[in-house]
Chains A and B, each alone.
Chain A
Amino acid sequence: SQELEQSPQSLIVQEGKNLTINCTSSKTLYGLYWYKQKYGEGLIFLMMLQKGGEEKSHEKITAKLDEKKQQSSLHITASQPSHAGIYLCGADTYNNAGNMLTFGGGTRLMVKP
């Protein structure tokens, strides 16, 4: 089965600093998804990456899928308290769009004002 490992498991940054979260897969990624969970709430979809080398941005968050399609990174520029939460990466477990997702263990982000 596919396994996703996220690093770091937790992160505390000062407001305004940049940060990167990594997601490494044990198998080739056919679809990689980033979700954000605010503490005590559900998950909100951020971005989806499918092609090697693909990069997407939304506001101050940029996600990349490496050329070999086994690792993705999520980069936040000039972090704000509103970025705090748990970030999870998820991957299609089959080469079949979105039927099942396997998730990483999550990265807990705290942003200090």
Chain B
Amino acid sequence: DADVTQTPRNRITKTGKRIMLECSQTKGHDRMYWYRQDPGLGLRLIYYSFDVKDINKGEISDGYSVSRQAQAKFSLSLESAIPNQTALYFCATMGSGANVLTFGAGSRLTVL
């Protein structure tokens, strides 16, 4: 099994629908992150969490919300999806005192 698991891997939805992307990890890492990837723009940070009770906005948090249900689970929600949220979304984790992110395989979201 993968260290960082994202579900769903692919999702097509319609404008205005609520969508949740889930991330779970078996690394035991405290820190979890959500990024989105758009062609030519690299990865941009949406939200991050350093602990279960810690939630921080990233560079592009508007239109998104997150929930850190447990140390191992960090979900990303789009309350009312819009077409420009079509992107590849990555969850990542990092251990305290470490430097390297471990990424999930990504969730491809298409909003029609």
Interface residues of A (CB under 8 A from B): 1, 4, 6, 9, 31, 33, 35, 40-45, 48, 88, 90, 92, 97-106
Contacts and interface: CB of A to CB of B under 8 A. Distances in A.
B100 A98 contact: yes
B40 A105 contact: yes
Given A98-B98, A98-B99, A104 B42 contact: yes
Q: Main SS of the interface on chain B?
A: strand
Given A42-B90, A43-B92, 20 more contacts: A1-B59, A4-B42, A6-B42, A9-B40, A33-B101, A42-B104, A42-B105, A43-B43, A44-B103, A45-B102, A48-B99, A48-B100, A88-B42, A88-B43, A97-B98, A98-B101, A100-B48, A104-B42, A105-B41, A106-B40
Contact of A42 (B48, B58, B103): B103
A33 B99 contact: yes
Give the top 9 A-B pairs by smallest Cβ distance, nearest first: A98-B99, A103-B42, A42-B103, A103-B43, A43-B103, A105-B42, A42-B105, A45-B100, A97-B99
B101 A45 contact: yes
A9 B40 CA distance: 7
Contacts, number: 64
Contacts of B94: 98-99
B31 interface: yes
B111 interface: no
Contact of B42 (A48, A98, A99, A106): A106
A66 to B, nearest CB: 20
Interface in B70-94: 90, 92, 94
A4 B44 CA distance: 12
21 contacts: A35-B103, A40-B106, A42-B103, A43-B90, A43-B103, A44-B103, A45-B100, A48-B99, A48-B100, A88-B42, A90-B43, A98-B98, A98-B99, A99-B94, A100-B45, A100-B48, A102-B45, A103-B44, A105-B41, A106-B40, A106-B42
